[in-house]
Amino acid sequence: MDFFGDPTVWLPFTFAALMGVAILVYVVLDGFDLGIGVLFPFVGDDEKDQMISVIGPFWDANETWLVLAIGLLLVAFPTAHGYILTALYLPVAIMLAGLILRGVAFELRAKAPKGQKEQWNRSFYVGSLLTSLSQGFMLGMYIVGLDYTLNHVAFACLTAVCLTAGYAFIGATWLIYKTEHDLQRRAVRFAKFGLLGVIVGFAANSLASPLVSPRIFAKWFTMPEIFYLAPLPILSGALVVLIGITLRQMPHPADRLSWLPFAAASSLFCLAFAGLAYSFYPYVVPDKISIYEAASAPESLFIILLGAMVVMPAIAAYTVLSYVVFRGKARALTYD
Amino acid sequence: MELDTLILSRLQFAANISFHIIFPTITIALGWILLFFKLRFQATGDEKWMDAYRFYVKVFALSFAMGVVSGITMSFQFGTNWPGFMEKVGNIAGPLLAYEVMTAFFLEAVFLGIMLFGARRVPPWLHTLATFLVAFGTTMSAFWILVLNSWMQTPVGFELRDGVVHATDWFAIVFNPSMPYRLVHMLLASGLTASFLIAGLSGLRWLLGDRGADVRATMKTGVMIAALLIPLQIFAGDLHGLNTLEHQPQKVAAMEGNWETRGNVPLLLFAIPDESQRKNHFELKIPSLASIILKHDPAGVVPGLNDFVAEDGTVMHPPVFKVFWSFRVMVGIGMLMLAVSWVAAFALWRQGFDRLTPWVPRALVVMTFSGWFATLAGWYTTEIGRQPWLVSGVLRTAEAVGLVAPVMVFSTLVMYLTIYGLLTLSYMFVLTYLAKKAASGEMAPDDVARAPIQRAIGVQPAE
Ligand code: HDD
Ligand code: HEM
Ligand code: HEM
């Protein structure tokens, strides 16, 4: 098979890769702001305002990555898009309800009369929680191939809880990076709990996915592959240890290394994602439809790619600009 | 009417898009108006423009957030309820949607952060640039989505291969026959919606005794923009109708409630179209006016609905009653807008602010959300008028629907309707509350608590 000569081969592959990147970026970026929403009820009122201020300028752009990911699925793999989304009809609807609730609560908690603030705080939390849980549930159902059997649903419920813990974890590391004093100390505690959840989640997923899918089992536990793949779990383990050690020493008086937990958590998400991507390739609907079968017409993909090559660098540049503009600590009740 | 998956999915789609569109309609134009306030401030140094900016940037932020979350729902709808749509026309709809995400959504979302929270962190020129880019981004969104919608109304530049649509001419697709009309009409609609909103909120503050320089400035801006745009809108609407007559005569026949193809067709001010008997009840008409409007000739022949019934009796025209009445609601509100904005402009000119009769601000308050109703009525005319097709002549709505169980669609529909109802009410309530609060001069509960944090992290109190 001539990879670059044949546009019906390299275009679907490129789009699958782009989609993967969009999902990964989404999970890391919206992960931290969803996670902060999940942690909302565990802090006091002043701290809630601080937590909002560390995600305020970013959340909208973060969610746009979800729109891009679903957009790429829709434009590049239309049949798979229909298949996946009708199979996940209910969890998608619940996720959307969650996203709506938290998105508007963001604004309304600050603008509605004082007496209603409490109520919008609650919908921010409930919305974030529903979103995280339903995304985790969908991930689980997707891993097992979108068939609703009792075992599969149980597995999906497990991933729902684990992904939510993962989001809370990365949210806590973002708080460690962006805040100080009490809130930072509290964030360190959250991160420790979250890390436990992440460890359980990794273990459960790594055990369960080969069990529920013989194909995935075969891809990982055969001879020479197991050696090429070994770095993935080994690196992940090393990162977990690194995070654990750093968290024990936090908060550092001079705030040294406060960026480290977030960076390490993001890397951990990347590794996990790479593992998943390896398991699924070349399928876009696990074990049913491959990316080559589902792809749109090459002319249409090409015209999108053309635009993407011009626009994506610009998007990357101004996304970086915005993180540079809003760098540094968000500080509560102190003057500069 | 049996509640099957098709009907439920259509209701759900209509609910979702109706909820979505009302917020972009505000933000598309409000972005440009905010830029105007900001530039006026920079040019004159007059604080009132900055006060105006600070107030309406809150309205903008809230509307934008509502637009974003409902927009995300929209992008999932295609897959969850209309899988047949992408399977058939994905090769054309896909790239158009992808360009919208890439050229518009990221632009507006990223720069929105800088526009709302960055005023103290970036140099003034960059803040102005961010404001410009947000306004530009919302307009680009409108452009791409209207290209797609217009293409669905008047599809060109494609061929069918194995029953799937393939693009042959992208230029023709983007600049399809109804696109320029629809884009212009929609952008004007947005301008009118935003200007009546501003005029209405200013009117409310005026009535509550808040008569500061900023309230005067925004009331004047709102009234002037409205008075300027409404004649243009009526003119553009007329052209739009002529274009539709050429490409979708059955839709115009339904809009006019005209059953037989003939000359001297009257303009119906009131009627109850009855599809079972194929005639109208209780007509109230102006002789020959429809022929004059559509053909510029009293004897001009206007197509009738009966031409669109197949030999075997299959009806190939849209539901008449709904199209007929949506169209009248839109045009009626348009006429009302004309009257109110011109009378208000005249009163501001002759009486000035100091002797202004309270009837002017009262009328403006009543019209605060009029743009919403006209816009929705216009879209119902357009979209219901395209039925039974989803993509004219290419794909029927019934062919695109997904195989989801009716109970599922029913439960999500109930869920969406509940959320949307509550949020629309909260939104209207909060806008009114913001106006009242500004009028009473009291600081927001939040401004007090957050001011120190905001200063420390450079967040504008305007949020
Ligand atoms: C503030 C909103 C507003 C106002 C005051 C008007 N319209 Fe409108 N109209 C719209 C907002 C709108 C819209 C929501 O933007 C639509 C729906 C789709 C489109 O392209 O524009 C529309 C559609 C639409 C169509 C449908 C064309 C088609 O899809 O085939 C026609 C013929 C007109 N308009 C004509 C008019 C006339 C003669 C008006 C005179 C008063 C008028 N409109 C006022
Ligand atoms: C923004 C204003 C819009 C409004 C208020 C609106 C409203 C509606 C309504 C009421 C229907 C149902 C027609 C019927 O069932 O008789 C419909 C159908 C539909 N419209 Fe629109 N529409 C809008 C814009 C768009 C755009 C921009 C697109 C595409 C990009 C679109 C795509 C569709 C589709 C796919 C359907 C099929 C579902 C159905 O027939 O119910 N609409 N729309
Ligand atoms: C089926 C049709 C539609 C889909 C799938 C859709 C999708 C979306 C999505 C995903 C967003 C959020 C973008 C973000 O994350 O920043 C959005 C926002 C937006 N949409 Fe839509 N949309 C549709 C119809 C329309 C129509 C008809 C218009 C206007 C004519 C419109 C104008 C906008 C604008 C201006 C925004 C920016 C956010 C805002 O102002 O609230 N959209 N849309």
Q: Which one of A14, A300, A329 would you mutate to disrupt binding with B, by most B Cβ within 10 Å of its Cβ?
A: A300
Structure tokens at B155: 């599809």
Dist CA B136 CA B126 (whole Å): 15
Residues of A in Cβ contact (< 8 Å) with B107: 315, 318
Structural contact between residues A54 and B66, judged by C-beta atoms closer than 8 angstroms = no
Phi/psi at A269 (nearest 5 deg)?
-60, -40
Burial class (CB in 10 A: 0-12, 13-18, 19+), B445: middle
- The minimal CB distance from A57 to the residues B66, B113, B412 is found for B113
Q: What was the pLDDT predicted at B152? A: 93
Among A178-187, A200-209, B33-42, B445-454, the range of highest mean pLDDT? B33-42
DSSP state for residue B265 in the 8-state scheme: P
* Chain B CB within 8 Å of residue A110 CB: yes
Residues 6-35 of A with CB under 8 A from B: none
The CA-based angle B277-B281-B282, given to 5 degrees, is 175
* Chain B CB within 8 Å of residue A224 CB: no
CB–CB contact B72 A63 (8 Å):
yes
- Residues with Cβ within 8 Å of A310's Cβ and at least 6 positions away in sequence, in order, are none
| B54 vs A317, more confident | B54
What are the CA-CA distances from residue A307 to residues A77, B33, B104, B245 (Å)?
18, 30, 13, 35
Residue range A138-147, pLDDT digits in tens: 888 888 777 7
Residue whose C-alpha is closest to residue B192's, from B60, B376, B371, B380 = B371
* Chain B CB within 8 Å of residue A306 CB: no
* Chain B CB within 8 Å of residue A76 CB: yes
Q: What is the pTM of this model?
A: 0.85
Residues 65-84 of B with CB under 8 A from A: 65-66, 68-73, 75-76, 78-80, 83-84
When pLDDT is cut at 50, 70 and 90, the band that residue A1 belongs to is very low
**Which ligand has the minimum distance to the alpha carbon of residue B378?**
1
Asked whether this complex has an ipTM greater than 0.85, the answer is no
Structure tokens at B264: 């001297």
- Alpha-carbon torsion, ordered B436, B64, B379, B368, to 10 deg: 10
Please say if the pLDDT value at position A55 is more than 50.
Answer: yes
Q: How far is B94 from chain A (nearest CA, A)?
A: 4
Structure tokens at A236: 């992940």
Give the other-Cβ count within 10 Å of B325's Cβ.
19
Q: What was the pLDDT predicted at B444? A: 43
**pLDDT (tens place) for every residue of chain B, 463 residues total:** 466 888 888 888 999 999 999 999 999 999 999 999 989 988 888 888 888 888 898 899 889 989 988 988 888 888 788 888 888 888 888 888 888 888 888 888 888 888 888 777 788 888 889 899 999 999 999 999 999 999 999 999 888 888 888 888 889 999 999 999 999 999 999 999 999 999 999 999 888 888 888 888 999 999 999 999 999 999 999 999 889 988 888 888 888 888 888 877 888 888 788 877 777 777 778 877 888 888 888 887 888 888 887 777 777 888 888 899 999 999 999 999 999 999 999 988 888 777 888 888 899 999 999 999 999 999 999 999 998 889 988 888 887 887 777 888 888 888 999 999 998 998 888 888 888 887 776 544 334 333 433 433 334 433 3
Dist CA A172 CA A32 (whole Å): 8
Task: Compute the Cα dihedral for B207, B213, B219, B224 and give only its sign.
Answer: positive
CB–CB contact A74 B91 (8 Å):
no
Partners of B161 in the beta sheet?
B164
- The minimal CB distance from A335 to the residues B426, B433, B452 is found for B452
Residue whose C-alpha is closest to residue A32's, from A183, A189, A170 = A170
What rounded mean pLDDT belongs to chain A? Answer: 79
* Chain B CB within 8 Å of residue A70 CB: yes
| Number of the ligand 2 atom closest to the C-alpha atom of B97 | 30
Q: What was the pLDDT predicted at B151? A: 94
DSSP secondary structure string, A242-297? HHHHHHHHPSPTT-TTTTHHHHHHHHHHHHHHHHHHHHHTTEEETTTEEHHHH---
The one-letter amino acid code at B229 reads: L
Burial class (CB in 10 A: 0-12, 13-18, 19+), B418: exposed
Residue whose C-alpha is closest to residue B336's, from B311, B373, B361, B310 = B373
Partners of B284 in the beta sheet?
B270
Nearest residue on chain A to B452, alpha-carbon basis: A333
Determine if ligand 3 sits within 6 Å of the CB of residue B24: yes
| B322 vs A48, more confident | B322
* Chain B CB within 8 Å of residue A114 CB: yes
Give the other-Cβ count within 10 Å of A306's Cβ.
11
Dist CA B65 CA B463 (whole Å): 12
Q: What was the pLDDT predicted at A118? A: 82
Pocket around ligand 1 at a 6 A CB cut-off: B 182, 185-186, 189, 192-193, 233-234, 237-238, 240-241, 244, 248, 251, 330-331, 333-334, 337, 371, 374-375, 378-379, 381-382
* Chain B CB within 8 Å of residue A299 CB: yes
Residue range A248-300, pLDDT digits in tens: 777 676 667 777 777 777 888 888 788 777 777 777 777 777 777 777 777 77
Residue range A85-97, pLDDT digits in tens: 888 888 888 999 9
**Which ligand has the minimum distance to the alpha carbon of residue B134?**
3
Structural contact between residues B133 and B88, judged by C-beta atoms closer than 8 angstroms = no
Dist CA B184 CA B235 (whole Å): 11
Structural contact between residues A327 and A178, judged by C-beta atoms closer than 8 angstroms = no
Burial class (CB in 10 A: 0-12, 13-18, 19+), B129: middle
B216 Cα: distance to centroid of ligand 3 (angstroms): 32
* Chain A CB within 8 Å of residue B121 CB: yes
B221 Cα: distance to centroid of ligand 3 (angstroms): 26
Dist CA A23 CA B109 (whole Å): 17
Q: Which CATH class is domain A9-325?
A: mainly alpha
Domain spans of chain B, in order of start: 5-255+321-456
Structural contact between residues A128 and A102, judged by C-beta atoms closer than 8 angstroms = yes
CB–CB contact B80 A84 (8 Å):
no
Structural contact between residues A148 and A179, judged by C-beta atoms closer than 8 angstroms = no
- Residues with Cβ within 8 Å of B442's Cβ and at least 6 positions away in sequence, in order, are none
Dist CA A171 CA A188 (whole Å): 11
Dist CA B432 CA B426 (whole Å): 10
Nearest residue on chain A to B428, alpha-carbon basis: A112
Structure tokens at B340: 């109110």
Q: What was the pLDDT predicted at B298? A: 80
The one-letter amino acid code at A295 reads: A
Q: Which residue owns the Cα nearest ligand 1 atom 13? A: B378
Residues of A in Cβ contact (< 8 Å) with B454: 53
Structural contact between residues A165 and A197, judged by C-beta atoms closer than 8 angstroms = yes
When pLDDT is cut at 50, 70 and 90, the band that residue A195 belongs to is confident
* Chain B CB within 8 Å of residue A202 CB: no
| Start-to-end Cα distance in chain A | 62
